[in-house]
Amino acid sequence: MARPAEWTIPALAYLGDAVMEVFVREHLVDEGLAHSAALNRAALKFVCAPAQAAAAERILPLLTEEEQGWFHRGRNSKHLNFPKSADPADYRKATGLEVLFGYLHETGQQIRARALFAAGYELPEKMTKDEE
């Protein structure tokens, strides 16, 4: 299996998006949401570019130098297509966040990823309780 440094930035962002989606779903189910319509509405508050950009801003001071490097690679990647509804700056930060989570996942740093997710979205630390 290739190491994260050998992957393209879009591939890491794609993987990181899936990792974050699992974290969001786990959080929402843990919160007691049980119906798909409510779950999908609540998930949108986490996965839209402005929410991801805000989460990125919250965790930037917590990142190691290596983590910052991965975030910046994602944020600075060349985007040719931005959704019309997304602010380009937010979209870039969201991509940086996804790349970071893809990197953390692929390097086996699930506890760190969960802690950063909790910090980024200002969630209780219980996100990490089962893996310590």
Residues 27 and 123: beta-carbon distance below 8 Å: yes
CA distance 50 to 36: 23
Query: Which of the following is catalytic: 17, 30, 87, 130?
Result: 17
17 is catalytic: yes
CA distance 79 to 124: 33
Residues 6+ apart with CB under 8 A from 11: 102
- Active site positions, annotated: 17
